[in-house]
């Protein structure tokens, strides 16, 4: 089964401030295709604390496309009908939804799930479920807070969580795996509230 791992970096704490996006289309832990772009966000103030995290500055996004252009010409086609995964999905899917609503674009009915929730269920013995710590544990090469690197390693973590299943390429097997651990695919539809129902407490830093 193919899936698309998603990661945003933001200019500030506003959900309409994504300044970078990374997507990795993967199958059975292997990268099939990638997409990365800077974004010129509606909320374009760069908080120094955000710059300190990801290193992106206003100079980097000068001349970058806005989200509407990226969505209509690249992102929607790249994602297609594949399952979307993210490490702390309420954050990344929340940004995606906020941007679609900001530009009055149809909210795509995407299926998605969260590798933080999966990690906590599958490896409860781990003291940290941050992406950087999971990457180190599994020996993945990793450059934190690069949107594309985050997306790729999110996809690798997802694969690690179920790859011992005998027929791990089947959509039904992944559904069974998630159901066994009390996790279901969620669906992004109109409105905001579904994203925030029954969410587990999150740590301040998941990366």
- DSSP SS3 for 5: strand
Q: Specify the pLDDT at position 153.
A: 94
Q: Count the Cβ atoms, other than its own, within 10 Å of residue 120.
A: 15
Q: Specify the pLDDT at position 21.
A: 99
Q: How far apart are CA 55 and CA 59, in angstroms?
A: 11
Q: Specify the pLDDT at position 79.
A: 95
What is the edge-to-edge ordering of all strands in the sheet holding 186-188?
30-38, 18-27, 2-10, 83-86, 110-114, 186-188
Q: What is the pLDDT of residues 153-201, one digit of tens each?
A: 999 999 888 765 444 444 555 565 566 656 555 666 543 323 323 333 3
Burial 36-72 (b: 16+ CB within 10 A, else e): ebbbbbbbeebeeebbeebebeeeebeebeebeebbe
Contacts of 124 (CB under 8 A, 6+ apart): none
What CATH code would you report for 2-196? 3.30.420.10
Report the predicted TM-score, pTM, of the whole model to 2 decimal places.
0.81
pLDDT of the chain, 207 residues: tens digit per residue: 789 999 999 999 999 999 999 999 999 889 999 999 999 999 999 999 999 999 999 999 999 999 999 999 999 999 998 999 999 999 999 999 999 999 999 887 788 989 998 888 888 888 999 998 998 888 888 887 899 999 999 999 998 887 654 444 445 555 655 666 565 556 665 433 233 233 333 333 343
Q: Are strands 18-27 and 110-114 parallel, antiparallel or unpaired?
A: unpaired
- DSSP SS3 for 71: helix
Q: Count the Cβ atoms, other than its own, within 10 Å of residue 101.
A: 15
Q: How far apart are CA 40 and CA 44, in angstroms?
A: 7
């Amino acid at each position: 089964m193919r899936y698309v791992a998603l990661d945003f970096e933001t200019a500030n704490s506003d959900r309409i401030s994504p300044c970078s996006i990374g997507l990795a289309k993967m199958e059975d832990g292997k990268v099939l295709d990638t997409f990365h772009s800077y974004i010129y966000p509606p909320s374009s103030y760069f908080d120094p604390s955000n710059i300190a995290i990801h290193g992106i500055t206003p100079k980097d996004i000068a001349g970058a496309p806005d989200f509407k252009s990226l969505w209509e010409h690249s992102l929607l086609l790249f994602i297609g009908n594949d399952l979307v995964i993210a490490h702390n999905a309420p954050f990344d899917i929340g940004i995606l939804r906020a941007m679609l609503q900001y530009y009055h674009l149809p909210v795509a009915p995407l299926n998605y799930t969260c590798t933080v929730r999966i990690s906590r269920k599958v490896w409860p013995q781990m003291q940290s479920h941050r992406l950087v710590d999971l990457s180190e544990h599994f020996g993945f090469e990793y450059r934190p807070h690069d949107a594309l690197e985050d997306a790729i390693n999110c996809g690798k973590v997802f694969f690690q969580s179920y790859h011992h299943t005998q027929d791990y390429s089947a959509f039904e097997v992944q559904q069974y795996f998630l159901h066994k651990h009390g996790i279901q695919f969620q669906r992004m539809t109109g409105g905001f509230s579904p994203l925030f129902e029954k969410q587990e407490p999150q740590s301040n830093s998941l990366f």
